[in-house]
Amino acid sequence: MERCSSSTSLSCRTDGTSSEMAKAVVGALEDWDLTERIGGMSFDTTSSNTGRNNGACILIEQQLKKDLLYFACRHHVLELLLAAIFTTVMGPTSGPEVTLFKQFQDHWKFIDRSQFESGDAHPHVRPLLDPVDNNWFQSTLINHKGLRDEYRELLELTVIFLGQVPHEE
């Protein structure tokens, strides 16, 4: 396959393999005469990028004949950390369904939701929340319209936990 030229950009047709991704990146760097100026690379943490033998990052380093500093996407790195913490606390999962969450979903219909109390009302939780600025979460929802959906949802759930109603757009 012919490498991508700067006129076709990195989105030229490839088969999506690590080697094709690496070829496209190195091709663009060569087209732009940047191969000597590159010292690091930013990427998401998919195995096609980070595989230790055939990941695109390794292949790019090999094609450039130099080591590069890795800047893994912070969102993806934090997802890996959160996954490790979740597994440590909840135990390993064998699929997309987490047993505790599935049980909660199955029993949801039996929960008297008219007796809802926020975390703010619980005597053991309240002291932990004293240093929390409840208004920060609400103001963040109001002032940051471009939040990614998962961050918006987390903020909304936090506002509800703190006993408020989330601001709607």
The predicted-structure confidence for 131-163, as pLDDT tens digits, reads as follows 778 788 888 888 887 888 888 888 888 888 888
48 domain residue, yes or no:
yes
Whether 98 is in a domain gets the answer no
Q: What beta strand segments (E) does the chain contain?
A: 40-43, 69-72
| Residue 36 · residue 61 · CB < 8 Å | no
Q: What is the pLDDT of residue 169?
A: 64
How far apart are the C-alpha atoms of 78 and 84, rounded to whole Å? 10
Q: Give a yes or no: residue 167 inside a domain.
A: no
Biggest distance spanned by C-alpha atoms of the chain: 66
Q: Which pTM does this prediction carry? A: 0.46
Domain contains 82: no
CA 12/CA 116 separation, integer angstroms: 53
pLDDT in tens, 13-32: 445 689 999 999 999 999 99
Task: Quote the domain boundaries for residue 31.
Answer: 18-72
The answer to whether 59 and 18 are in contact (CB under 8 A) is yes
12 located within any domain = no
* Residue 6 covered by a domain: no
